[in-house]
Chain A
Amino acid sequence: MERKTKIDAENGKQEVVITREFDLPLALLFKAYSEAEIVEQWMGTKVLKLENKKHGGWEFETKNAEGKVVFQASGVIHDFVRDQKIVRTFEMGNAPFDVQLEFLEFEKLTENTSKLVMKSIYRSVALRDQVLALPFAYGINMAHNRLEEIVNKLK
């Protein structure tokens, strides 16, 4: 499959740039970021709060089947310009990654295509590298746990 999503993470820098082009008109792409019910669908999390305005706040939360909170993130919306940009902070709850600053820029390419450039700035280079490695480390852990399960069954 074509790689539509691009990650730029220069060595020794504390920022990451995620770029993606969508087969969607700009207004629809922006809607996916500004309407709580839609964000819930593609982010796979519950949206507790999403105040789309300067100095507004946002809060996401995901619970597992037992009702235990497994993911929590929140932040402040610093700027919100429809069909153009969102500037916000992002902080994961119960995680040692500190807060990150995010600049989301939405751009019209054609009537039916659009582009999102998301720039995240972390407190330090080391923290950025840790966040980048999260899905990798998680994947390793998952594989490790599965291996452990299999080994335990063999016992």
Chain B
Amino acid sequence: MNLRRDVFQAIADPTRRTILLLVASQSMTAGAIASNFDTARPTVSKHLQILTECELLKQKQNGREIYYHTNPKKMKEVADFIEPFRAMWEERFNKLETIMKKYKNK
């Protein structure tokens, strides 16, 4: 289950979120991704490694180059990660509303 927690650690970092956004539109090599950042290439490599380890990114060999692309299945999980939080509050507020409607009619 640690793997799952890593997904949220992965997206908590702004550089990694930017990488995901970049790669979401087209698959890119590590070099092309790194050229979008001022940070050192090894730093970007580390971010790519983390994103790959938690399966948000996948690698594909194309000749001598390795291309990174997003994993739609995993990305959907992240996009939906806020929904249970919303559902929890919705449930609480619905309860509040029901209780207070009864209270009003007493």
Contacts and interface: CB of A to CB of B under 8 A. Distances in A.
A132 B82 CA distance: 6
A59 B88 CA distance: 20
Contacts of A138: 84
A31 B100 contact: yes
Looking at chain B's contact residues, is the secondary structure mostly helix, strand, loop, or mixed? helix
A135 interface: yes
B104 interface: yes
Looking at chain A's contact residues, is the secondary structure mostly helix, strand, loop, or mixed? helix
Contacts of B93: 4-5, 20, 22, 116
Given A4-B90, A42-B92, A135-B88, A23 B8 contact: no
B5 A23 contact: no
B101 A24 contact: yes
Interface string B61-96: 000000000000000000011111111111011111
A140 interface: yes
Given A20-B89, A125-B12, A130-B8, A38 B81 contact: no
Interface string B7-40: 0110110100100000000000000000000000
Q: How large is the interface on A (under 10, 10 to 19, 20 to 34, 35 or more residues)?
A: 35 or more
A109 interface: no
Interface string A19-53: 01011110011011000001001111000000000
A155 B9 CA distance: 35
B4 A137 contact: yes
Contacts of A139: 84
Contacts of B14: 11-12, 125
Interface of B: 1, 4-5, 8-9, 11-12, 14, 17, 80-90, 92-97, 99-101, 103-104
17 contacts: A5-B89, A6-B86, A7-B85, A9-B82, A12-B17, A22-B97, A23-B97, A24-B97, A29-B100, A125-B12, A126-B9, A129-B11, A132-B81, A133-B85, A137-B4, A138-B84, A141-B1
Interface of A: 3-7, 9, 11-12, 18, 20, 22-25, 28-29, 31-32, 38, 41-44, 116, 125-126, 129-130, 132-141, 144
